[in-house]
Amino acid sequence: MAEDARRNSSGLQGKFETLHEFVKAARLKLAPPVWDYVVGAAETETTLKRNRYAIDSVAFRPRVLNDITGGDTSGTVMGKKARLPVMLAPVGGLERLDPEGGAAAARGATLFGVPQMLSSVSDPGLEATAKAASGRKFFQLYRRGPDSLTDEIVNRAVDAGYEAFCYTIDSAVYGRRERDIARRVSNRSAINDGGDNRQQSLSWSEVKRFKDKHGAKLPLILKGIQTAEDAAIAVDHGVDGVYITNHGGRQLDHVRGTLDILPEVVEAVRGRAQIIIDGGFYRGTDIVKAIALGANTVAIGRLYLYGLAAAGDAGVARVLEILEHEIRTCLSLIGCTGFHQVTKSHVAAAPSVTMPHVFSAFPLLNLADDGYGGR
């Protein structure tokens, strides 16, 4: 009985029964510039589309006549057990979607049972977000100012109970996000160095400095790895987490989808660090594909933003509940009782049958014309 209550902890069962319903609700609540910030990407938005295309170009090889009773959807995040092998990706400006911003997202993640990675450019900030919820939390930094400022932030993160530290490394300059440009709005605060250019000067020497000075305090994650070469350098520097991402398509246009990048990174890392991946992961089947191909954890971004915008912390928790149901269904139908049984033998390359776009994982949006952008 207690487990059933926990699994329906959001209180939104009945109001939201499919993930696409959150997309509709979020669209109705958000002003057009904020909506464009959530769904948009850089220039032609090709990278965003390739993220979905890469996922849709993988098919399952289900095995049958396996006893699948007693299934378990739990996995690991940075080597520790979580209800799903999923975490909330860092997103700047969460306060645009909910007045409580990162604190609301933290409560939703804790209510369900997965970690949150907080962006350094989301209100209400490091300490207030940590106080808002008791769940696991990681901190992501856009580096600004001198080394002493970074060191101060690291110590604050330790004191506030964050269990890992993350540098974003794919944002030396701000991507050309033409939805924002066309509306004459700016979200540049995310990596505005105030003329200091510390984000531009970030290099492997800072990774070494961090590990030498802070490695005993906090594991280090590098967010923005897109090649085997950089993954190998990262683990040679003792990095604890290799985070594969193309920033959801918001930075460099015309790069590969992240699921296409995953196999070469897995080969380069060879188990020496945890592998996190994001980029267009919206459905339970998407999560299973990533784990089958060697990821340890999948970070969701836009997906939980829809929940946050639609219904605050309860919306985040309900998104995760529905995602868990989809994962349980997928695992059962490929013949597995849990992620520990999933291997690359359960997937194969196959032609995509869907034209990729930001909503291509939610075809039922087409049942009603509610003014959706992003197609």
Q: What is the pLDDT of residue 175?
A: 86
Q: Residues 297, 275: contact at Cβ < 8 Å?
A: yes
Q: Residues 255, 51: contact at Cβ < 8 Å?
A: no
Sign of CA dihedral 309, 140, 223, 40: positive
DSSP-derived secondary structure letter, 188: G
Q: Residues 117, 88: contact at Cβ < 8 Å?
A: yes
Q: What is the pLDDT of residue 188?
A: 61
Beta bridge partners of 81: 76
What pTM was computed for the model?
0.94
Q: What is the pLDDT of residue 199?
A: 76
Please state, in angstroms and rounded to a whole number, the distance separating the CA atoms of residues 308 and 311.
6
Mean model confidence pLDDT for the chain: 92
The average pLDDT across 262-267 equals: 98
The average pLDDT across 164-168 equals: 97
Beta bridge partners of 212: none
Query: pLDDT digit string (tens) for 61-112?
Result: 999 999 999 999 999 999 999 999 999 999 999 999 999 999 999 999 999 9
The average pLDDT across 353-366 equals: 93
**What percent of the chain lies above the pLDDT cut of 90?**
84
Q: What is the pLDDT of residue 134?
A: 96
Please state, in angstroms and rounded to a whole number, the distance separating the CA atoms of residues 155 and 131.
16
Instruction: Pick the closest to residue 285 from 90, 39, 52, 111 (CA basis).
Output: 52
- Sequence-ordered list of residues with C-beta below 8 angstroms from that of 350, at least 6 positions apart, any chain: 57, 58, 59
Q: What is the pLDDT of residue 372?
A: 53
pLDDT band with cut points at 50, 70 and 90 for residue 172: confident
Q: What is the pLDDT of residue 2?
A: 35
Active site positions, annotated: 247
pLDDT over threshold 50, residue 190: no
Domains of the chain: 13-358 (3.20.20.70)
The average pLDDT across 218-231 equals: 98
pLDDT band with cut points at 50, 70 and 90 for residue 56: very high
